[in-house]
Amino acid sequence: MQALHNILQDPGSLASLDLAALEMARIEYPGLDCGSYLNVVDGWAVELRDEAIDRFRGESFVHEFHSFFFDRLGIHGNTSDYYSPLNSCLNEVIDRRTGIPITLAVLYLELARRIGRDVRGINFPGHFLAEVRDGVFRCYVDVFNRGRLMTKDDCLRMGRELTGIDYSDRPGLLEPVGPRSILIRMLSNLRGIYLTRRANRKLLAVLDLLLIAAPGDADELFSRAMVKMNLHMHASAERDLQQYLRLRPEADNKGEIEHQLQVARVLRSQMN
């Protein structure tokens, strides 16, 4: 998972987002051949160039690109099984041509990148978006809903409808984000899914990656410690709890943490 680790550790990493996303999918598919899926996307880019779609500009480019992406490839949002972990696996998105907003946007912007177009990710609350920038032309794209073109006001209205929150005083939410932020959001999605499904080993893999991105995140350390306790990894859980207390020596929940630490020590001793 070298590309994924590189981006999580270094926001300036030049590793490719699609490779990192495919490496993340190894949580579900440990033996996944990432290269074969990169070749599929490379092949689509060749088709776009062969048809001279890369020569269009502005709104004409968006129209032609969307015709290829949504009509020819048949890519669409998964409304029937939205919370399946498969929707967060880029290999499954490529195979099944369906997914959730963020994985569809990753595929959209990585395909556009291959033909030299400036398409970026927008980490908008509740619904990840893409943004096309081409000279004076600029628009937001809802990749989940067949490439619906959106203005800033459209995005803010959607945000209110989805979350009940008015984001009009937070314009930064509509600014592009880099691969690291995208991958962290993908991991956060998987964390919620695996937590709900009690898939502890997969959840542990997600938390390990989130802690690569933020080694000093005490909350994630505590979460990982509890997952390790469920997996009977008591010695490792003990280390995470000790690190939590080093990071937050005056934590309001210090008593709870010390209790969990004592439980981990007792259980570890019983395993010897």
pLDDT band per the 50, 70, 90 thresholds, residue 67: very high
Going by C-alpha positions, the residue among 189, 239, 190, 244 that lies closest to residue 216 is 244
Share of the chain above pLDDT 90, in %: 89
Specify burial of residue 232 (Cβ count, 10 A radius: 0-12, 13-18, 19+): exposed
Tokens matching residue 264: 């981990």
DSSP-assigned letters across all residues of 88-113: G-HHHHHHHSEE-HHHHHHHHHHHHH
What integer is the mean pLDDT of 130-144?
94
Average pLDDT over residues 141-166: 96
| Side-chain-facing half-sphere of 116: CA atoms under 13 Å | 9
**Token pair belonging to 31:** 């033996």
Distance separating alpha carbons of residues 36 and 82, to the nearest angstrom:
25
Residue 271: pLDDT above 80?
Answer: no
Question: What is the rounded average pLDDT for all residues in the chain?
Answer: 95
Neighbours of 1 (CB within 10 A): 17
Q: Please tell me the predicted confidence (pLDDT) of residue 269.
A: 79
The dihedrals phi and psi of 85, each to the nearest 5 degrees, come to -65, -20
Q: Which helix (H) or strand (E) holds 119?
A: strand 118-122
- Binned at pLDDT 50, 70 and 90, residue 139 comes out as very high
Model confidence at 81, pLDDT cuts 50, 70, 90, reads: very high
Beta carbons of 105 and 96 less than 8 angstroms apart: no
pLDDT at 113: 97
Q: Domains (ranges, CATH) in the chain?
A: 2-177 (3.10.620), 216-271 (no CATH)
Condensed to tens digits (0 to 9), the pLDDT of residues 194-243 reads: 999 999 999 999 999 999 999 999 999 999 999 999 999 999 999 999 99
Quote the percentage of the chain above a pLDDT of 70. 99
Judge whether residue 152 has pLDDT over 60.
yes
Q: Where does the pLDDT of residue 251 fall: very low under 50, low under 70, confident under 90, or very high at 90 and above?
A: confident
| Whether pLDDT at 184 is above 60 | yes
Residue 266, pLDDT score:
85
Please give the torsion angle defined by the CA atoms of residues 207, 209, 210 and 212, in that order, rounded to the nearest 10 degrees: 130
Is the pLDDT at 272 greater than 80? The verdict is no
Q: Pick from 11, 16, 25, 20: which is nearest to 45 by CA?
A: 16
pLDDT of res. 158: 95
- Joined tokens for residue 97: 């041509």
Which pLDDT belongs to residue 252?
87
The closest alpha carbon to 120, from 137, 135, 139, belongs to 139
> Stretch 15-30: mean pLDDT, rounded?
97
Distance CA 1, CA 29 (A): 13
Residue 142's SS3 state is strand
Joined together, the tokens standing for residue 143 give 């990749």
Within a 10 A sphere around the Cβ of 15, how many other Cβ atoms? Answer: 17
Helix axes 2-9, 200-213, angle to 10 degrees: 50
Residue 253 — pLDDT band, cuts 50, 70, 90?
confident
- State the pTM of this model: 0.94
Residue 265: pLDDT over 90: no
Q: By the 8 A CB rule, do 115 and 54 touch?
A: yes
